[in-house]
Structure formats: structure tokens, C-alpha cells
Amino acid sequence: MFSPAATPARSIVGLSVLVLWVTLGIFLLVGGLLLYALIRFRHRPSDDEHEPPQIYGSDQIELSWTVIPILIVVMLFLTTTRVILGTEAIPKPGNAMDITVIGHQFWWEYRYPKLGVVTANELHIPVSDPNTPLPTYLTMSSADVAHSFWVPRLAGKMDVIPNRVNTMWMDPQQPGLYLGQCAQYCGTQHAKMLLRVYAQSPQDFAAWVEQQKQPGRQEFPGNAAATEGQTVFMHNACINCHTVAGTAATGRFGPDLTHLASRDTIASGPIQNTPENLRKWIDDPNSMKPGSLMPAMHLNDHDLDVITAYLSQLQ
């Protein structure tokens, strides 16, 4: 949170630091007075037995410690309002990158309507040069329960709620990988619904888009296992939930697999995308992420091998 990489996160840090200083000042003042009073006015064995003077109140003093806090509150309120308006009430530029985010139990679906790209769990966005800003606007909803999109270094969180459309924006200035995770309890595997945002230079981003636009690979010359794996995949229940663009697999319940092999991780972030992990995952998702909604398909060893070979080829 304190190493912001985009404008919304940066303006929050500015406000937070101000509020921290104000509250620290109040703490030192009031805490110091309290400490002083406790030491100065402690009961001493040498005290006489008389009760101390009884004081019932003082209008002037009480008025002062009502008015001064009001002034501080007004100051903080106006500063806060400026940040709120600067984040939530500024017009969207025409060239903004539009991405639709759909939360699922326990993974993220990303659709780029202007580019015709669909992907899952790993969000790629262009960096925004301060001279020619290119902010990314996320339009968010949920397919099931409430989730929340939180990548602390880029922006504050925004809830992803079914039957409701929320928006947020971000404009990372440096390329890099920014981590986050779902921040609204959404069920058993809330903990492993991670977020990975890859901010890329315009060239890298364009290349990534070009690759993602391609339909799923269907020819695997010289790779009999992958070819057989494709057949097994297409004849099993896999296609009910998963999409591989350009094939019979058009399911929407699980992540789009068209370019699965181009991703670094599987299972929404917690597992590295290696053939061994992928095979283990397909064999029994619940052993790696208990509560995952993908069922174990009870495939035999041969089928597991060839499906893994097939999916590993979907660059």
C-alpha cells in the first residue's frame, strides 16, 4: 500500500500519510496529558486523608475541546472528499482500455470486449505513460457470490457483486507484476483466489493481445500425445465447463483454456503452471485447493498424461 505504482493508489497514500500525522499528533498530545496526569496526581502515602477539591465542570474548557475537534474533522473531511472525487468522479478518457471482470468461486474471468480477448486469472494491462495517459477501466460483476478486487499497489479495492456493475480504474506507470487477492469472503477457497496483474509496455501488450486473439491450437504435428489428448479432452465432460476457442469446447463455468500454456500459474494463482502440477491438478483439484468447484474426473493414468500433453501445448 505504501509503495504505490498507479495514480489511485498514490492519492490514497498521500491522504493516509496526512491522516496518520494528524492522528499521531492527537495521540501524543492526549496520551501525554493522560500520562502526566496519572503520575502527577497519583495518591501518595504522605497525602492527608482529605478528599481532593471537587470540580464539576467548566464551560470554557469543554467548549474548547468541542470546537477544536470539529475544526480538525472539517479539515480531514474536505481533504478526504477531494481524493474521493478525484478517484470516483472524473470522466473516463475515450482511449481507455476496457476490461470486463467477472468474479467466480474461486477464480477471475477477464474479457477485453474491444479486442476480442478472453482470459482468466492473470490480467494483462498496458502501462500508462504520464504524457499520453492510457488508463485501464475495469467493469466488474460476479457470476455467483460477492468478491472484491484488491491489488494494493495499483488502487483501492472494489467489490465485485452479483447483479450489480461496479467500475474502477488504474494506470500503472511501470511495467511489472502486481499481486493481490480477493478481499471479500466468498466461500471455502476465498484464501486462494489470488490476483496477478501484469502491466506491460505498449509493445509487449500488443504482442500479448495478438497471441491471445488466435483460436486454440488444433494441429500438433509430431506430438501424438497432444493430438490424442485433444480427442480425449473433447470427448469428456471437460468441454461442459471450459472453452478452447475454435473447438467444440465452449463451457463458461470454468476458466477459458484457449491459451492456458501462456500463463504462469493455474488454479487462480497459488500453483505454478508446470506439466507435473497440471497433471496433479486434473487428477484431483481438491488435493491442491480443497473446496475448488472443479470435480476430480477419475481419468486413468494414460488419459491424464495425454490431456496434460494437450493442455501444455495451448500457448
Partner 1 sequence: MTTTSVMEAIDETPTAERGRPPLNVIYEWLTTVDHKKIGLMYIMYALVFLLIGGVEAMLMRIQLAVPNNHFVSPQVFNQLFTMHGTTMVFFVGMPILFGFGNYLVPLMIGARDMAFPRLNAFSFWISAFAGVLLYYSYIGASGLYAAGSAPDVGWFAYAPLTAKVFSPGHSTDYWTLAVFLSGVGSIGTALNIVTTTLCMRCKGMKLSRMPLLVWLYLVMSSMVFVAVSPLTAAQIMLTLDRYIGSHFFDTQAGGSAVLWMHFFWIFGHPEVYILVLPAFAFVNEIIPVFSRKAIFGYPAMVAATVGIGFISMSVWAHHMFTVGLGAAGNTFFVFATMVISVPTGIKIFNWLATIWGGKIIFATPMIFCIAFLFQFLIAGLTGIMLAAAPFTWQLGNSYFVVAHFHYVLVGAIVVALFGAFYYWYPKVTGRMMDERLGKWHFWLFIIGFHLTFDFMHVPGLLGMPRRIYTYEAGRGWGTLNLIVGIGAIFQAAGVLCFVYNLVWAYYKGKEAGHDPWDAWTLEWSTQSPPPAYNFAIEPTVNSRRPLWDLKHPEDTDSEYER
Q: How far is the CB of 41 from partner 1 (least distance, A)?
A: 5
- Closer to partner 1 by Cβ: residue 13 or 224: 13
Cα 37 from Cα 45, distance rounded (Å): 17
Task: Fill in the DSSP letter of residue 250.
Answer: B
Cα 5 from Cα 2, distance rounded (Å): 9
- Closer to partner 1 by Cβ: residue 195 or 257: 195
Q: How far is the CB of 51 from partner 1 (least distance, A)?
A: 5
Torsional sign, CA 86, 89, 94, 100: positive
Q: How far is the CB of 112 from partner 1 (least distance, A)?
A: 21
Cβ atoms of residues 123 and 198 within 8 Å: yes
In this structure, what are the phi and psi dihedrals at residue 97, rounded to the nearest 5 degrees? -80, 120
Q: How far is the CB of 289 from partner 1 (least distance, A)?
A: 9
Cα 93 from Cα 86, distance rounded (Å): 14
- Closer to partner 1 by Cβ: residue 158 or 226: 158
Q: How far is the CB of 192 from partner 1 (least distance, A)?
A: 8
Q: How far is the CB of 153 from partner 1 (least distance, A)?
A: 8
Cα 167 from Cα 240, distance rounded (Å): 30
How, if at all, do strands 166-170 and 107-112 pair? Answer: unpaired
Task: Fill in the DSSP letter of residue 216.
Answer: P
Q: How far is the CB of 32 from partner 1 (least distance, A)?
A: 11
In this structure, what are the phi and psi dihedrals at residue 38, rounded to the nearest 5 degrees? -65, -35
- Closer to partner 1 by Cβ: residue 64 or 315: 64
Cα 284 from Cα 301, distance rounded (Å): 12
Cα 189 from Cα 293, distance rounded (Å): 9
Within 8 A by CB and 6+ apart from 298, the residues are none
Q: How far is the CB of 231 from partner 1 (least distance, A)?
A: 34
Give the number of other CB atoms < 10 A from CB of residue 110. 20
- Closer to partner 1 by Cβ: residue 66 or 132: 66
Within 8 A by CB and 6+ apart from 192, the residues are 106, 267, 268, 269, 270, 289
- Closer to partner 1 by Cβ: residue 53 or 94: 53
How, if at all, do strands 147-149 and 158-160 pair? Answer: antiparallel
- Closer to partner 1 by Cβ: residue 29 or 224: 29
- Closer to partner 1 by Cβ: residue 117 or 170: 170
